[in-house]
Structure 1
Amino acid sequence: MSREEIIDITNRFLIEEFEVASDVIQPEADLKESLDLDSLDYVDLVVLIESNFGIKLESKDFTDVITFDNLYDLIGSKIHAIA
């Protein structure tokens, strides 16, 4: 799966599930602030990622995820690890 596909799929479910405008999602924007995430929202985010990409995530995976770019990188690395 290409990075562009990862970005498209991710942005689509972020916009739909977190009811955020598409212009809020910028590669270098802060994920937590942009989506106004609390701890329960992170659980929802993990479930969405796992169901959309067929990967498993753990809380430690999010240690370095600050921006949307970091999130795309995490998803890409998990996809490629199982490929």
Structure 2
Amino acid sequence: MNNEEILEKINQILVEEFEVDNEVIEANNNLKESLDLDSLDYIDLVVLVESNFGVKLVEADFRELVTFQNFYDLIERKMSKN
């Protein structure tokens, strides 16, 4: 899966599963503010990412995330290790 496919898949998950408006999903937008997810939503997001991308996410991974681009980069890094 290339970078663009990862980005498209993540955005599709956010739109379909979390009902996020496509317009707020911009690489430099603040992830937490834009998504307005609660702790249970983050658990759902982790499960969806793990099942769709075959990567394992831990709590520490989310501490460094600020923007959507950070999130895309995280998934890419995790996938490249597999």
Could you tell me which residue of structure 2 aligns to residue 10 of structure 1?
Answer: 10
Could you tell me which residue of structure 2 aligns to residue 26 of structure 1?
Answer: 26
Partners in 2 of 1:3 and 1:35 — Cα distance? 21
Superposed displacement of residue 70, structure 1 = 0.3
Superposed displacement of residue 81, structure 1 = 0.5
Could you tell me which residue of structure 2 aligns to residue 37 of structure 1?
Answer: 37
Could you tell me which residue of structure 1 aligns to residue 67 of structure 2?
Answer: 67
**Deviation sequence 1:22-73 (CA, Å, 0-9, x none):** 1110001111111111111110110110011011111011111111000000
Unaligned residue ranges in structure 1 (runs of 5+): none
Task: Using structure 1 for the length normalisation, give the TM-score.
Answer: 0.94
Which letter does structure 2 place at the counterpart of 1:73? D
Which letter does structure 1 place at the counterpart of 2:57? L
Task: Calculate the aligned-residue CA RMSD, in Å.
Answer: 0.7
Unaligned residue ranges in structure 2 (runs of 5+): none
Partners in 2 of 1:34 and 1:70 — Cα distance? 14
Task: Using structure 2 for the length normalisation, give the TM-score.
Answer: 0.96
